[in-house]
């Protein structure tokens, strides 16, 4: 039953994206890559991180990223420290597109109709996700602020893994280095 419900919700989401007039020129994998890149931090905006997050082959993701670059939705920028590495940055048109379609209207409406139960459901789904990630040893790709390495200092956020200060907006972004904190579901 749980699988059937999750599969049906996934199907409805795919249909909504496929039929959205602003998204007709994008393949589903391209949209997934854009959605991820719009939510990830500076440690996680690489082709390898996109590949790991989407769980697809390097070749498939590489072709999709090239297509997005050709469409003017992303730029490849050389890493300041390691010139062999590149970071993927969304262009202003890509950010505007994502902002105009996310979160999906049908989901916002459904959550509003559920009232307070919507936040209960969100918490339960997050618990389910974390349980699967722990049980299957799957990378969490969680929000920085919920990571066991995240620290709060007098000057703001700080990453205990990289030993670097974090910008205020970064603490609410996805990180590929995320490790689930023992006391956190986020």
pLDDT digits (tens, 9 = 90+) for 8-35: 999 999 999 999 999 999 999 999 999 9
- Tell me what the pLDDT averaged over the chain comes to: 93
8 Å CB contact between 136 and 102 = no
Burial code of 72-102, b = ≥16 C-beta within 10 A, e = fewer? Answer: ebbeeeeeeeeeeebbbebeeebeebbeebe
Mean pLDDT to the nearest integer, 51-80: 96
Report the b/e string of 136-157 with b at 16+ CB within 10 A: eeeebbbbbbbbebbeeeeeeb
pLDDT reading at 185 higher than 60: no
List the strands of the sheet with 150-153, edge to edge.
Answer: 150-153, 156-159, 164-165
Domains of the chain (ranges, CATH numbers)? 2-101 (1.10.10.10), 115-172 (no CATH)
Spatial CB neighbours of 64, under 8 Å, sequence gap ≥ 6: 27, 29, 30, 33
Looking at residues 48-71, what average pLDDT do you find?
96
Q: What is the pLDDT of residues 85-113, one digit of tens each?
A: 899 999 999 999 999 999 999 999 999 99
Give the pLDDT mean for 136-154: 91
CA distance 95 to 80: 23
Say which residue, 181 or 119, is predicted with more confidence: 119
Please name which of 10, 49, 37 lies closest in space to residue 140, comparing C-alpha atoms. 49
Determine the pLDDT at residue 183: 56
Interatomic CA distance for residues 81 and 171, integer angstroms: 22
User: Does the pLDDT value for residue 180 go beyond 90?
Assistant: no
Q: pTM to 2 decimals?
A: 0.90
Residue 165: predicted pLDDT: 92
Mean predicted confidence (pLDDT) in 31-47? 96
**What pLDDT does residue 181 have?**
79
Confidence of residue 186 (pLDDT cuts 50, 70, 90): very low
């Amino acid at each position: 039953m749980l699988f059937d419900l999750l599969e049906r919700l996934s199907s409805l989401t795919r249909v909504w994206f496929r039929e959205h007039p602003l998204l007709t020129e994008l393949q589903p994998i391209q949209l997934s890559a854009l959605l991820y890149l719009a939510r990830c931090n500076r440690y996680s905006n690489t082709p390898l991180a996109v590949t790991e997050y989407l769980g697809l082959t390097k070749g498939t993701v590489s072709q999709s990223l090239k297509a997005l670059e050709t469409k003017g939705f992303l730029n490849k920028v050389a890493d300041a420290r390691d010139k062999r590495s590149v970071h993927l940055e969304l262009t202003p048109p890509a950010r505007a597109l994502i902002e105009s379609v996310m979160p999906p209207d049908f989901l916002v409406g459904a959550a509003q109709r559920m009232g307070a139960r919507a936040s209960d459901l969100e918490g339960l789904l997050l618990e389910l996700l974390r349980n699967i990630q722990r049980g299957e040893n799957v990378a969490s790709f969680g929000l920085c602020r919920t990571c066991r390495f995240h620290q709060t200092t007098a000057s703001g956020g700080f990453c205990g893994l990289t030993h670097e200060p974090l910008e205020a907006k970064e603490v609410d972004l996805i990180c590929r280095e995320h490790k689930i904190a023992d006391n956190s579901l986020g």
